[in-house]
Amino acid sequence: MTLNIASYNNGSSKVSSIRKQEDIDNLIIKKIASLTINDSKIWTSPKYDRSKNVHRFFQYPAMMVPIVQQTLIESITTVDNSVTTILDPFMGSATSIVAGMMNGLSCYGQDINPLSILLSKVKTHYFDIEEVSKRSIELIKSINSDERLCIEKNFRGIDKWFKVSVSLELSKIVRGIRKCEDIEIRRLFWITLAETVRLSSNDRTSTFKLHIRPLEEIQNRNISANELFEKLLNRNIDDIVSHNKMLLSKMLVGKNGYKKKISILFKNSTEYIFIPNGGIDLLVSSPPYGDNSTTVPYGQHAYLPLQWIDLKDIDESITEDLLSTISAIDRKSLGGKLILPSQEIVDNLFEISPSLRNVIEKLTVTHPDKTSKIICFTNDLYIVLQKCCEAVRKNGYLVWTIGNRRVGGIEIPNNRILIELLEHNGIKLLTEIKRDILNKRMAQRNRSTTTMVTEDILIFRKTF
Ligand SMILES: C[S@@+](CC[C@H](N)C(=O)[O-])C[C@H]1O[C@@H](n2cnc3c(N)ncnc32)[C@H](O)[C@@H]1O
C-alpha cells in the first residue's frame, strides 16, 4: 500500500497532517511486523550477502548485511514515497548507501576512515565495463613486464608486516596503477590492491587488530601478491558486471551513470554533516558501539592497506598524518580522545539519558577506571546525533542499528541510551527489531564483547 505524503499535505490542516503522518508510521510498523511474522529470520538473514557482489571488494569490519538494509529502506520508501534522499554519517563500507541506490535514492555518506571513502566511492560508481577491462589488461601487462627492484613505499614497520618479496610485488602494482589516467578506474585498482595487501601481509586475518603471524608461518608462507591481485581484479570485474545488471534492471542508470546524486565525503561527523536542500528524508546508519580501541579498530584495520595507496587519489584533503601511527585514525574517531567533557556537559548527558547515568553509577562502584571512556564516547556520539537531527527534515525517518557491549562484565545499554538521546531531540521511536549477529568475528569483536550476539534495529521519525 503506497501513500503519497505530498498529496496528503496539500491543503490539509495541521491536525489532519499530523494524523496522516501517524497513519504512515503505522503502515511502516505493520509492514515491519508482517515481514517479521512471515519470515522469522528475515533480519538475521542467513542468506547473508556480505560476501557477494561489490560487497566483497574489501573486507571492512562490522559490515551490515546488505539485504537487511535494502529491506528496511524498501519498507519505508514503499509506504512513504516522499522519501528520496538517504544519509549515513558512519558509512563504513557503504552498505546502507548501496542499499539506498538499489531503492533509487540520492545518497549522502560520510566517514572519518579514508579506506571507507575509497571503498564507498568505488562501490557507488557506475563503471563502463569495456573501459575497465581494457585498463585492467594494460595494468596486468605493466605489472608482468616490470622488472624494477625498487620498493615504492616506506613506512615504519614495512619489513615487519611484509616479506621483501611481497613488498617488491606490491610496488609493481603501485607503479602500474599510477599509469592509469582514469581516476575512477584507478580507485577500483587501489581497492583491489587494499584487499591484496590485507591478504598478503604478515598480519593474521582472523582479527581486526594488527597481530603478527608466528615467524615460522611467515617464513613458510608462499604468497604471490601479483597473482592474488590479478585474481581479485577479475573477481571484482565480474562483480561490477552483476552490480551494473542489477542497477540497469531497476532502470536506475542513465547515460551519465546512476541517475540520482551520490555524495561521499571524508568528514569527521562530530564536526560536520552535509545537509542538502530540503534536508534528509531518511537516515540509515550504524555507529561504532564504543571507542575504536576497545571495540572495533576500524582505523587499525585500514592502516596497512592505506600505506600502499596514493592518498590523494582517495580525496585531496587526506593527509599522511592519519597514517603516522597504527592508531591515528582510531584516535580521531568517536570516543578516541580521552578528554572528559566539563561536569556541566556530563550532568546534561545524565539528565537526558537516565540509562547512561545508571550504568556509569554501577561501573563507578566496580570499575571506576572504565567510566571516562564511556562518557567521552557517548558525548561524541551525542554531538553527531544532534547534527543528524538537524540534517533530517521534519517527518523524516531514521533507522539505527546498535548493539549493547559489555564493559567489566556490565552491559552498556547503547540501545536505550540512543533512544533517550534522540527522543530529547524530537525523534520518536516507532518500532524495534532484534536481530541475531551471525558473523562470529562481529559477535566476538573482542573479549569484552564476547556475549554480544544480538543487536537492535531502531526505527524513528523526526516529529519537529
Ligand atoms: C559500525 S561502522 C559502520 C559500518 C557500516 N554500516 C557498514 O556496513 O560497513 C562505524 C563507522 O563509523 C566510522 N566513524 C567513527 N567515528 C567517526 C566520526 N567521528 N566521523 C565519521 N565516521 C566515524 C568508522 O570509521 C566506521 O567506518
pLDDT in tens, the chain (464 residues): 334 444 434 444 455 555 689 999 999 999 999 999 999 889 987 666 656 788 899 999 999 999 999 999 999 999 999 999 999 999 999 999 999 999 999 999 999 999 999 999 999 999 999 999 999 999 999 999 999 999 999 999 999 999 999 999 999 999 999 999 999 999 999 999 999 999 999 999 888 889 999 999 999 999 999 999 999 999 999 999 999 999 999 999 999 999 999 999 999 999 999 999 999 999 999 999 998 878 889 999 999 999 999 999 999 999 999 999 999 999 999 999 988 999 999 999 999 999 999 999 999 999 999 999 999 999 999 999 999 999 999 999 999 999 999 999 999 999 999 999 999 999 999 999 999 887 644 444 444 444 568 999 999 999 98
Q: Is 362 helix (H, G, I), strand (E, B) or coil?
A: helix
Residue whose CA is closest, atom 12 of ligand 1?
Answer: 90
What pLDDT is recorded for position 304?
97
DSSP 381-430: HHHHHHHHHHHEEEEEEEEEEE---EETTEE--HHHHHHHHHHTTTEEEE
What pLDDT is recorded for position 134?
98
State the distance from the centre of ligand 1 to the C-alpha of 223, rounded, in angstroms: 31
Cβ–ligand 1 distance for 377 under 6 Å, the answer no
Does domain 5-113+265-286+335-462 match CATH 3.40.50.1580?
A: no
State the distance from the centre of ligand 1 to the C-alpha of 273, rounded, in angstroms: 13
Ligand 1 atom index nearest CA of 268: 20
Cβ–ligand 1 distance for 269 under 6 Å, the answer yes
State the distance from the centre of ligand 1 to the C-alpha of 452, rounded, in angstroms: 18
Sign of CA dihedral 253, 45, 423, 375: negative
Cβ–ligand 1 distance for 303 under 6 Å, the answer no
**Sheet containing 106-111, strands listed edge to edge, beginning at the edge strand earlier in sequence:** 262-266, 106-111, 85-88, 280-285, 392-402, 454-462, 427-436
Residue whose CA is closest, atom 4 of ligand 1?
Answer: 92
Residue whose CA is closest, atom 26 of ligand 1?
Answer: 92
Residue holding cell 558486471?
A: 241
Cβ–ligand 1 distance for 335 under 6 Å, the answer no
Task: For 314, list phi and psi in degrees, rounded to 5.
Answer: -85, -50
State the distance from the centre of ligand 1 to the C-alpha of 288, rounded, in angstroms: 6
Cβ–ligand 1 distance for 268 under 6 Å, the answer yes
Cβ–ligand 1 distance for 62 under 6 Å, the answer yes
Question: Strand 454-462 to strand 392-402: parallel, antiparallel, or no bridges (unpaired)?
Answer: antiparallel
Domain map of the chain by residue range? Answer: 5-113+265-286+335-462
State the distance from the centre of ligand 1 to the C-alpha of 322, rounded, in angstroms: 16
Q: How far apart are CA 229 and CA 146, in angstroms?
A: 15
The pick from 49, 327, 333 for probing ligand 1's pocket by mutation, whose C-beta has the most ligand atoms within 8 angstroms, reads 333
What pLDDT is recorded for position 353?
98
Residue whose CA is closest, atom 13 of ligand 1?
Answer: 90
State the distance from the centre of ligand 1 to the C-alpha of 1, rounded, in angstroms: 34
Residue whose CA is closest, atom 22 of ligand 1?
Answer: 111
Ligand 1 atom index nearest CA of 60: 9
Residue 459 burial (10 A CB sphere; 0-12, 13-18, 19+): buried
What pLDDT is recorded for position 50?
59
The pick from 53, 63, 64, 111 for probing ligand 1's pocket by mutation, whose C-beta has the most ligand atoms within 8 angstroms, reads 111
Cβ–ligand 1 distance for 286 under 6 Å, the answer yes
What pLDDT is recorded for position 174?
98
State the distance from the centre of ligand 1 to the C-alpha of 65, rounded, in angstroms: 15
Cβ–ligand 1 distance for 93 under 6 Å, the answer yes
Cβ–ligand 1 distance for 334 under 6 Å, the answer yes
State the distance from the centre of ligand 1 to the C-alpha of 289, rounded, in angstroms: 10
What pLDDT is recorded for position 48?
62
What pLDDT is recorded for position 9?
41
Cβ–ligand 1 distance for 333 under 6 Å, the answer yes
* Angle formed by the axes of helices 225-249 and 183-200, nearest 10°: 130
Cβ–ligand 1 distance for 69 under 6 Å, the answer no
Q: How far apart are CA 110 and CA 124, in angstroms?
A: 13
State the distance from the centre of ligand 1 to the C-alpha of 304, rounded, in angstroms: 18
Cβ–ligand 1 distance for 60 under 6 Å, the answer yes
Q: Is 379 helix (H, G, I), strand (E, B) or coil?
A: helix
Cβ–ligand 1 distance for 90 under 6 Å, the answer yes
